[in-house]
Structure 1
Amino acid sequence: MDRKPRQAMVERKTQETAIAVKILLDGTGTAEVDTGLPFFDHMLTLWAVHGLFDITLRAQGDLDVDGHHTVEDVGICLGQALSKALGDRKGLQRYGTACVPMDEALAQVSLDLSNRPYLVCRLPAMAERVGTFETELVPEFFRALCHHGGLTLHIAVPYGDNTHHILEAVFKAFGRALDEATALDPRRLTVPSSKGVL
């Protein structure tokens, strides 16, 4: 069965941020990301590369205040774009799980494209910042993405010492788990739910 490309574009402009994002789910891992937060750009690029998503993302925010509005609004826009690209969610694998090591750190991510937003994020103690990026913003990003993308997402890092390694493992694992969940099962022509709806 021929399918249209699973892609979407979202723009959001507020008094705090201006964001434009485009995503192609069945891509090759090409990422063009500029949020004004270099470490965050690095994490989003890793997510795209390891999930084989093509993304173009430009964000301008009130970074003179801090990174909160920019990071949260990027999560909102990516979640909305993901949901739009998934369309009616027919034929999806729906669930995805990945376990990714990064040197001494290990990240475990499981998710469900259930249309029921929920986040469980268990991270070890980390440095307050990596570069200019405030690490406490990571759960805020994933919370916004879950809420607007319709994901149930569980993130657990049972151990890890280096903050960069911990977060890199998380974003890589999230990319791999989301790639698995968004994959299409040729045997399934309907929504992957006994209810008949997600």
Structure 2
Amino acid sequence: MSRTARVERTTAETKVLVEVDLDGTGKGEIGTGVGFYDHMLNQIARHGGFDLTVRTVGDLEIDAHHTMEDTGLALGAAFAEALGDKAGIRRYGSATIPMDEVLVQAAVDLSGRPYVVHDEPALAPYIGPVYPTSMTRHIWESFGYSARLTLHVTVLRAARPGATPDAHHVVEAQFKAVARALREAVSLDARSAGVVPSTKGAL
């Protein structure tokens, strides 16, 4: 069974191509024009075990918002398409990931019901020259809406006591945690092969 998808999204602001293989090897080929965002999407590929191609051309002369939002929407749509009817998947996944002083928890339910809860402390406004840290929540909301999943991302620890959070570490730990939670949720469960994991019979 092939669990792959190709999604193209074109607007007056962006042109996005996303290809995903849920049963890949963690290979990422990412290019959005936002360097730190590329780095984060590579975390999704590597730690999720997904083969992921993302090519986005956006109106970065304005700012990074449209580029990042539309990429998240296309990525979510690709995950939803690749999952199909979700028969035989585990459905739920969670991960608690440390990154030096940072600790992040992510939990996923491939429920068909878009709902995102995101809890992080105040961070420096930018990582690198282009990535606004205010967009991290919006990325998860865009992805969760299009993928039709429930996602909780919580920064349990952001810094040593009295220290200022390192925004790079805080955001990167989130992407790694979500990747690991997704890896578990999309994995096939031999105990329920061919069965949709819901008493409703559909997700």
TM-score (norm 2): 0.95
In the other structure, the counterpart of 1:112 is 109
Q: Percent identity?
A: 49
Tell me how far 1:186 sits from its aligned partner: 1.4
In the other structure, the counterpart of 1:153 is 151
RMSD of Structure 2 on Structure 1 (CA): 0.7
Following the alignment from structure 2 to structure 1, what is the Cα–Cα distance between the partners of residues 7 and 141?
A: 18
Letter in 2 for 1:112: D
Letter in 1 for 2:80: S
1:169 aligns with 2:163: no
In the other structure, the counterpart of 2:195 is 190
Structure 2 residues without counterparts, runs of 5 or longer: 159-164
Tell me how far 1:8 sits from its aligned partner: 0.2
Contact 2:16 2:57 in 1 (8 A): yes
Contact 1:124 1:158 in 2 (8 A): no
Number of residue pairs aligned between Structure 1 and Structure 2: 195
* SS state at 1:109 partner: strand
Contact 2:85 2:202 in 1 (8 A): no
In the other structure, the counterpart of 1:15 is 12
1:90 aligns with 2:95: no
Contact 1:33 1:55 in 2 (8 A): yes
Following the alignment from structure 1 to structure 2, what is the Cα–Cα distance between the partners of residues 69 and 153?
A: 22
Following the alignment from structure 1 to structure 2, what is the Cα–Cα distance between the partners of residues 165 and 144?
A: 22
Following the alignment from structure 2 to structure 1, what is the Cα–Cα distance between the partners of residues 145 and 52?
A: 20
* SS state at 1:64 partner: coil
1:122 aligns with 2:124: no
1:137 pairs, out of 129, 132, 135, with: 135
Q: Deviations over 1:78-121 (max 9, x none)?
A: 01000000001001100000000011111100010000000000
> Which structure 1 residue ranges, 4+ long, deviate > 2 Å from structure 2?
none
Q: Deviations over 1:123-152 (max 9, x none)?
A: 111110000200111111111111110110
1:78 aligns with 2:83: no
Q: Deviations over 1:32-62 (max 9, x none)?
A: 0000000000000011100100001100000
1:5 aligns with 2:2: yes
* SS state at 1:187 partner: helix
* SS state at 1:194 partner: coil
In the other structure, the counterpart of 1:29 is 26
* SS state at 2:191 partner: coil
Structure 1 residues without counterparts, runs of 5 or longer: none
